[in-house]
Every structure is written in C-alpha cells, then in structure tokens.
Structure 1
Amino acid sequence: MRSRTRTAVIVALSAAACATALAVPAQAASSPAGSPALKWHACTAEGSAPGSECATLPVPLDYSKPSGPTVDIAVSRLRSDRPHARRGALLLISGGPGGSGVRDLARDGEKVRKATKGAYDIVSLDPRGVGGSTAIDCGIDEDDRQMLNFRAWPRPDGDISDGVARSRRVAEACARNGGDVLRSLTTRNQARDTDRFREALGEKKLSAVGVSYGTYVGAVYAQMFPERTDRWVLDSSADPDPARVAHGWLNNMSGGADDAFPDFARWAADPARGKDRLAERAEDVRPMFLALAAELDRKPRTFKDTGHAFTGNVLRQVLQMSLYGKERYPTVAGLIQAARSGGDGPVTAPDPFPEPLSQRDAAVFAGIVCNDVAWPRDPAAYRRDVAVDRVRHPLTGGMPASITPCAFWKDAHAEKATRITDRGPSNILMVQNLRDPSTPHRGALKMREALGDRARLVSVDAGGHGVWLDSGNACSDRVVSEFLVTGERPARDTVCRAGH
C-alpha cells in the first residue's frame, strides 16, 4: 500500500535534537477549538475513487498564533460502505516527505475499505505544500532539481565538490523564496494539522496507517496526542532518534540496499528468466553490477530519447529505487541489459529520469528534512563520511552519506523534534520487512525500543519497502487487518515467514 513510483522517488531522497524526553506544553499539543466545518464535494481529480469526497481545511500557518494567517490543507474521505459496522475514521498517512495522502486514498481507498470490512471511513490529507494544499516554490534552478544532482551523488572518485555547491545554492534559493510557508514545514506541524482534521471530522479519536516517512508522522502524532489515537499501524519505520531523524534515515539506506540486493540477485539469476537472465548464479550478480557501474563511470553513454548521460550513478540510483519491490526489478534489469549491449552508442532503454523534480517536490522534501533537525554543517565531515561509506557499501556509491541542502539551511529547527517514548496507550502495531532497502529492519528495532510496551512488532521475511496490502504476505496482511477491525494484536513480537 505504499505510494508507488513518485513517492519512491521522494522517499529515495531521504529519507530531534533534545537529549531528554520532550514534555509538550498543553497549549502547544492541543488543537485550538473551532475548526471550520468541512464542505465536502465529489473528488474530481483523475483516478479518484468512486464515491470519494474532497474538501479544504484551513489551518494556522503558525500554531503559536492561532488567529493569524492560515494555509489550506486538501483532505479527502471514502465513507464506509457498511454503516452498521462503522467504528470511526482510518487515516492514511503518506510517505515522502512529500507524498500525497489524497492520491493514496484515490488509489488505495477501496482496497483498504474492503480489507477493514467497512469498519471505517477512509480519510487522508495532503501535507502543507503537497498536491491540493497551499503550494510552495523555492525557485531552484532546473539543473539542481535533476535527480542525480539533487541527491548529490559523489563523483566516481568520491569527490563531493559539485554536491557542496549545489546544496548551498538550493539552501540559498529556499531562504530567498520559500517564505513563511516553507519555514512552517515540520513533522510536528503535520501532526497538528492532522489533529485539526480529526476535530473537523468530529472524531474523538483517529485510527491510522502510516507508511515509510508516514510512520514517523504517526509516531509524532501519537506522542503529541496519545489520548486521541485509537488503533495505530506503523508500516516500514525508521530510527526515530531525535538528534538525527532524516539525516540518519538517509545514512541507513546504504546498508538497506545491501540487505535487499540478494533478493534481486536471486531473481536476476533465475533460469526461468530465460534470455533475460543476467547471470548464471546469484552470487555473480553483485560483481557484475559493480563492474558495469564502474565501466559507466569511466565511459558514460547517452540515452537516445533524451540525450542525457547514462552514468554509473544513474545505474546505482535506478537500482536503489528498484529494490523497493519485485515489480520494479525489470526496470533495473532492462537498464543493465541495455548497458551491456550496443557498443558505445546511445542506449535505447528509456531515460529513467527524463524530467527534473518539480519545484514543489524539491521544496517540500528539503523543507521538512531540513527544518525538523540540525544537520552537520562542515562539508569536510561529509567528505570523510562518503569516503568510508562508498568502500563499505559500493552499491550506493557514497550517496547516502553525501551532503544535502540541510548543511546550509537557514532558520531551521525553531522547535525541537519530538522524542518518541513509551508513555502512552498500548495500541500500536508495527509491521516491517526484514530486508527493506529504504527503512532497514534495524532502524525499525530502534522505533520498537523507543515505544516500549506501547507497540508490538511483526517482522516479515521479505524484501522491499511497504508491507500491508503490498508485499503479498498473507500473514502480515491478516495480522494488520484483524488489528484494525477487532483491536487484537499479537501478544508479543512475532515473525511472518515468506509464503505465509
């Protein structure tokens, strides 16, 4: 049930600073009374689920000034088709940062409603800056929004000078052009906006399913508003360490790619693939891939359709994204086949990144990950980290340790990030693949540790990113769906085996 290609791009970009548990003042944690009534109308966007409704919710730009300027939040819902079974509202919290909850509901709402047997109205929202909500724009140059540049992939020799210069330009553009809306983009404000939505829905409590970055939003909401949570699912969690947050998430992707690659290698060497088989043995796939990426580092080719360079980093980037799910393996396999054929001429495989990131996607991602927590400032520290990371984890070429605009961010982290603790109701179910390329299982164990007896963890013997209604594991699908319908969780942490 994860957001598909677009959210994978955003998540692939990634993704607080107090040393003791943060006590949230009652005024800061509570939603101001008087949320306006929602004026629902039929959703008209392409792909909207039949019967889904949309509305706009104004929320304070700055929650410390509740009577001040507002921003608009786009919201949607799909009502229960079994009113006698309805028990509340189930919030879908999108990944990213930058994923659209309204689009998630349009794509997955009917599937979720069926899995939960009509127990809920399925609801969601577009965070600030996203989709139908108030837009933002940093005015970032087009070249700096190209995927391979925005992610600051090191050069083949590990040099990050280009990334340092680009990160500085992006941070300066956002400081000039982002304004107060950009400065308001934080996970804590998304949690507050969510609570305004709950209030406008007339619900005393919400149930929720947060996916990827959405698990952090969900955990922060549960920490800020524990009494307003009903049945809470965190699907594909990362380490919530408040001193690092998104910085740590990005760093962990190196090991995550290593965890997930063997699943791809077995698929690529499967005799059933026939002429499209990449190697005779699974253990041959990794050295083949690394050698091919190194060859493209030395002698880049071009894509016939766009004229863009086909470099080793393009191949590495596509691999990292393709590890999100088996349905994406053919993409990187096709690119490998194209690179291995045709001599030195242009490749006919489609350019995987023909267009730059949109201004909105770039600004939202940078705003949230840079506003939430302070990142290291010294470019020399990133150079040292890249040098180590690219040796330990050559599949990702040092990118997860590289510099980002957050190193040069201005006006950041005016509010300390939330420390997730074991204080709150025991109503959280975590579900996590053992071989997740984006949010590795070891990071989820940190979330599990932080939540203590509030949570139970279901680990799934599978690769890929995203579990419930997405990985094809009947065991995990059943456990999550039963929890949402009946409230019953496993008595202790458990494992769902492959094929069950």
Structure 2
Amino acid sequence: MNALIAALGLVGALIVAPEPPAELKWAPCPAEVNTGTFAVQCATVPVPLDYSDSGGTQIELMISRIASTNPEKRRGILMFNPGGPGGTGLDQPAFLAGKGLPATVLDSYDLIGMDTRGVGHSSPVSCGFTADDAYWANVPPYAVDEAAVTAQSAIAAEVAQRCAANDTGGRLRHLSTANMARDLDRIRAALGEKKAGFYGASYGSALGAAYVSLFPDTTDRIVLDSNLAGTHLDRNSLIRFAHGFEETFPDFAKWVAARHASYGLGHTPAQVRKTYFTIAERLDRAPAPDGTNGAHFRFGTFFGLYSEVQYGNTARLWQSLLSSGPAAPAAAAATPHPADNALTVFLAVTCNDVDWPEDLATYQKDVAEARERYPMFGAAAANVLPCAHWKYEPSEPPVKVDDQGPAKVLMLQNRHDPVTPAINAELLRAAFGQRARLVTADGSGHGVYVIGGNACALNLTTSYLVDGKLPARDTTCRA
C-alpha cells in the first residue's frame, strides 16, 4: 500500500494539465459575497475533478477579482486563501483591503479570491450536518477521561459514515491540498498569467507551501502567514493546538488580571489561570443553563485567544459562567447546520491528505499524555477526529517541501499563536532552507499581515510584495 501511494504521489506531482484556453466571463459576484466598497467581479474556472484523468469530469471553481487600476505599476496577480480548509475566500481580497491593505499592493496586483474546490460556490459538497449534531468543527471536544474518548470515537465514526453516505457523486475523495494547489495553477493559466503570487493564512500557509513546491516555475512572490508545519494538517499539528493554547493564554491572563476591577477573574495571571480550571471543572460536572459544558468553555476560550479584540467578550463569558445555575434541558433542532459545507471540506481535505491512526487505544493514550503535558486544552487537541474512521485512504502522499528552488517564500508568524504556534513556522522554515525567510512578530494572536498590527512585519511584507525585497535573513519584529 505505501509503495503504491508513493508511486501515485510521484506521478501526481508531475502532472501539469494543459492551460485552459477559454476566456473568463466576469460578472457581479453572488449577493452574499461581502465586497465592501470595492469593485469586485466574479467568474468561474473549470478544473478536472481528478487530475490523473484531466480530460474527464470537470468541476467549476468561482474566483473573485479586485483589478489593479494602475497599469503602469501592475505586476500581475496575487491569489488569496484565508484558511480552513473549508473557508470561503471570495471576499478575502475585499476583507484585507478593507482592513488597510496598502494602496501599493492594490496597484501592483489584481487581487484574486476564490472558493477552493468543494467550498461555497465551487461545486460544494455536504456531509448533511444538522444543527443538533454532537459534532465539533476542527477541534474535537475535551475528553475528561478514557470513557469520553470512547464516546467521541463513536460520534466520529457516525460522522465519517454519514459523509460517505452523502458522497453520492464521489467527490469527497478528490478534495486534497495537492489538488487545490493544482487548481491554483489552473486559475493562473485561465487568467493568462505566466506566474502568480499567493498569500495564504493559517491552513492557507499549507496550501501555499504545496503550491510553491509543486509549481516552482509558475509561482511568483509567496507569503505564508501563521503557519502549519508542512503542506497538511496531521495529528501532530492538531496536538500542537494545545501547545499554542498554553503559550498564548498568559497574554490573555495578563490582560484580564489588569482588569480585575471590571471582570473579577483574578488579580494576577496565576489567579486567572486558576479561575479557568475552576470554571472548566465545574462545567464538567454540571453544564450551564444554556447547555455550555466544560468542553464548550475550553473551546470558546481557545477561540478567544485568536485576537486581543476578542479578550473582552471572552472575559464576559467567563463572568456569566461563574454565576450560572444548574443546566436546563436542551432543545433539539433538526435544521441544516450553517457550517455544514465548511465542516465537510475541512474533514475531506484533512482526512484525505494523510493517514490517521485508526485504533482507539492510540487516542486514549495520546489524550492521557496530552492532558498531563497541556492541562488546559491537551485532552481536546488529542481526541478523535472522524479521520480515524474515514472511508478513503490517501491517494498520494502529502506534497513534500524541500530546499530546492528559488528563494521566493516570505513566512510570517506571531511569537504566540493559539492554533498555529511558532514551532510550526520553525519546522516549515527548516524544510524550505534558503528558499524562505521567516519574520517573527513579537505579538500574540492568529494572523500577522494587515490584521496583526505589527508595523515592522507590515512594512517588510509590503516591501516584498511590491518591490521583491526578501529580507536578507530571518527577522524578529518587536511589538
């Protein structure tokens, strides 16, 4: 099996489908795409469902464009991916432009957003999730003991079975990072460009790493922000969510302690940390009236560490849970899950990219170890995903990152990041060798360029995108 997969991966990495000759037809984007105040148009690009049969079934991908209005300064195209996998990206150029993307970048590029294959307006897929499903997004629930791991495994198995049952068109097996990277090159060709730049954040960093690795000759300036450790999310990367939580939580705790008079959660960071465990363990025993349990609370705090702008809401949530009474019965609601599509794509790509352990004992052992090593969140990050029961085996190995090729990758990383900790960037940087430079912002949260607020990182990235000035060496940007 491993030899077959390796052979398929070698062949797949060499496949470059012919460039599509059809001229794109630009039109207003669908009404639900948030274009802000910018002139955004959308078009569709056909790509093969299966790149090993590029003349077979085609699917359509929707892309968006904010065109440069300065022909003298226009360099080419800059494609965007906001993360996920499963996140819609049609509005990503307008989102970043609205947050202050410099005018020099807007002049230099046509900004190209997209829904990647399976997402939103790009031949969407569905596992049929409903609002009452006891399933979690990209992090499984915190397991308080071994029995909780067993229970989660049963839920994960049902989810995997449902995804397989809903996959009547056989599309899920073709959702992978490698195929999405191939799609990027198809989009470049459809736009009539010899090369394409790329900005990817979070999981988008993995997609960008795969893209520049598969297509070193047709990629231009590449920016990878808030990094995974390679070209896919695997079990080690998931467990490192707990590492990121432990590293980032002290920033939140310090912020909250300085505001004890307002929130009453602890005079010192140590007291705030103690409050965290007090709330979590209380909710483990008896959920709040709205049904919030210890796993919900831990996940909500994890998400609250993504940005300082979320600290106040997270602190207020803690306040409400400290004073909550006994739980009230929860009402069922068999309505479609609003994130059904995103969850489906996340699972398909994550489970298709790499082999995941299948035996329950491995997860029980890992959860027990992670609970000791990362007491705040480890027993969530090490718990069972549906990938343990996924129908399909990977059709090829993950795209390999190596140090062969031109130096064109700028990596951005906050020193403290709850979901993509700095160790990820260090591992990916080492794999790229002299092909990349790493800019570490002395800050906290998920996301550096434009939204992170670090002037040095903003300036270095803009200079690279506009003028091609890659830093001579890895750089630390002070807060």
Name the TM-score, length of structure 1 as normaliser.
Answer: 0.88
Aligned twin of 2:307: 325
**Structure 1 segment 405-444 matched on structure 2, within 5 A:** 405-444=386-425
Aligned twin of 1:276: 263
1:455 paired to 2:436: yes
Identity of aligned residues (%): 39
CA distance in 2, matches of 1:380, 1:146: 21
In the TM superposition, residue 202 of structure 1 has moved relative to its aligned partner by 0.6
Residues 1:182 and 1:288: Cα distance change in structure 2 (over 3 Å): same
State the one-letter code of the partner of 1:137. S
In the TM superposition, residue 251 of structure 1 has moved relative to its aligned partner by 1.0
**Structure 1 segment 71-82 matched on structure 2, within 5 A:** 71-82=59-70
Q: Match of 1:30, SS?
A: coil
State the one-letter code of the partner of 1:292. I
In the TM superposition, residue 278 of structure 1 has moved relative to its aligned partner by 2.1
CA distance in 1, matches of 2:375, 2:155: 23
In the TM superposition, residue 214 of structure 1 has moved relative to its aligned partner by 0.4
**Structure 1 segment 265-414 matched on structure 2, within 5 A:** 265-271=253-259, 274-303=261-290, 309-344=291-326, 356=337, 358-414=339-395
Indicate conservation of the 8 Å contact 1:137/1:177, yes or no. Answer: yes
Q: Which moved more, 1:105-114 or 1:379-388?
A: 105-114
1:466 paired to 2:447: yes
Q: Match of 1:102, SS?
A: coil
Aligned twin of 1:11: none
Q: Which moved more, 1:354-363 or 1:452-461?
A: 354-363
Q: Match of 1:73, SS?
A: strand
Q: Deviations over 1:306-357 (max 9, x none)?
A: xxx11111110101111111111122211110012254477xxxxxxx9945
1:68 paired to 2:56: yes
Unaligned 5+ runs, structure 2: 329-334
Aligned twin of 2:108: 119
In the TM superposition, residue 51 of structure 1 has moved relative to its aligned partner by 1.0
Aligned twin of 2:121: 132
Indicate conservation of the 8 Å contact 1:21/1:419, yes or no. Answer: no
Q: Match of 2:323, SS?
A: coil
Indicate conservation of the 8 Å contact 2:289/2:325, yes or no. Answer: no
Q: Deviations over 1:432-485 (max 9, x none)?
A: 001111111011100000000000000111110110001111110011011101
Q: Match of 1:438, SS?
A: coil
CA distance in 1, matches of 2:325, 2:11: 65
CA distance in 2, matches of 1:265, 1:177: 44
Aligned twin of 2:18: 32
CA distance in 1, matches of 2:406, 2:357: 35
CA distance in 2, matches of 1:397, 1:446: 21
Indicate conservation of the 8 Å contact 2:20/2:186, yes or no. Answer: no
Name the TM-score, length of structure 2 as normaliser.
Answer: 0.92
Q: 1:152 aligns with which of 101, 123, 140?
A: 140
Q: Deviations over 1:242-297 (max 9, x none)?
A: 7x7432221110110001001000110114x6422521112211111111110111
In the TM superposition, residue 20 of structure 1 has moved relative to its aligned partner by 9.3
Unaligned 5+ runs, structure 1: 1-16, 304-308, 347-353
In the TM superposition, residue 115 of structure 1 has moved relative to its aligned partner by 5.3
Paired residues, what number? 467
CA distance in 1, matches of 2:357, 2:12: 32
Q: Match of 1:421, SS?
A: coil
Q: Match of 1:116, SS?
A: helix
Residues 1:96 and 1:411: Cα distance change in structure 2 (over 3 Å): same
In the TM superposition, residue 144 of structure 1 has moved relative to its aligned partner by 3.4
1:234 paired to 2:224: yes
In the TM superposition, residue 395 of structure 1 has moved relative to its aligned partner by 1.3
State the one-letter code of the partner of 1:191. A
CA distance in 1, matches of 2:13, 2:65: 29
Aligned twin of 2:332: none
Q: Match of 2:53, SS?
A: coil
Q: 1:198 aligns with which of 164, 183, 188?
A: 188
1:88 paired to 2:70: no
Q: 2:200 aligns with which of 207, 210, 214?
A: 210
**Structure 1 segment 90-105 matched on structure 2, within 5 A:** 90-105=78-93
Residues 1:35 and 1:406: Cα distance change in structure 2 (over 3 Å): farther
State the one-letter code of the partner of 1:169. E
Q: 2:469 aligns with which of 488, 493, 497?
A: 488
Q: Match of 1:207, SS?
A: strand
Q: 2:28 aligns with which of 13, 19, 42?
A: 42
State the one-letter code of the partner of 1:491. A
Indicate conservation of the 8 Å contact 1:210/1:217, yes or no. Answer: yes
Indicate conservation of the 8 Å contact 2:13/2:214, yes or no. Answer: no
Residues 1:464 and 1:382: Cα distance change in structure 2 (over 3 Å): same
State the one-letter code of the partner of 2:301. L
CA distance in 2, matches of 1:23, 1:442: 27
1:55 paired to 2:43: yes
CA distance in 2, matches of 1:357, 1:401: 26
Q: Deviations over 1:181-210 (max 9, x none)?
A: 111100011011111100011110011111
In the TM superposition, residue 180 of structure 1 has moved relative to its aligned partner by 2.0
1:161 paired to 2:161: no
Indicate conservation of the 8 Å contact 2:141/2:296, yes or no. Answer: no
Aligned twin of 1:475: 456
Residues 1:403 and 1:39: Cα distance change in structure 2 (over 3 Å): same
Q: Deviations over 1:129-173 (max 9, x none)?
A: 11111011123465435438x743244334312211111111111
Q: Match of 1:106, SS?
A: helix
Residues 1:26 and 1:292: Cα distance change in structure 2 (over 3 Å): closer
CA distance in 2, matches of 1:425, 1:397: 38
State the one-letter code of the partner of 1:42. P
Q: Which moved more, 1:356-365 or 1:192-201?
A: 356-365
Indicate conservation of the 8 Å contact 2:96/2:450, yes or no. Answer: no
Residues 1:266 and 1:252: Cα distance change in structure 2 (over 3 Å): same
Residues 1:235 and 1:247: Cα distance change in structure 2 (over 3 Å): same
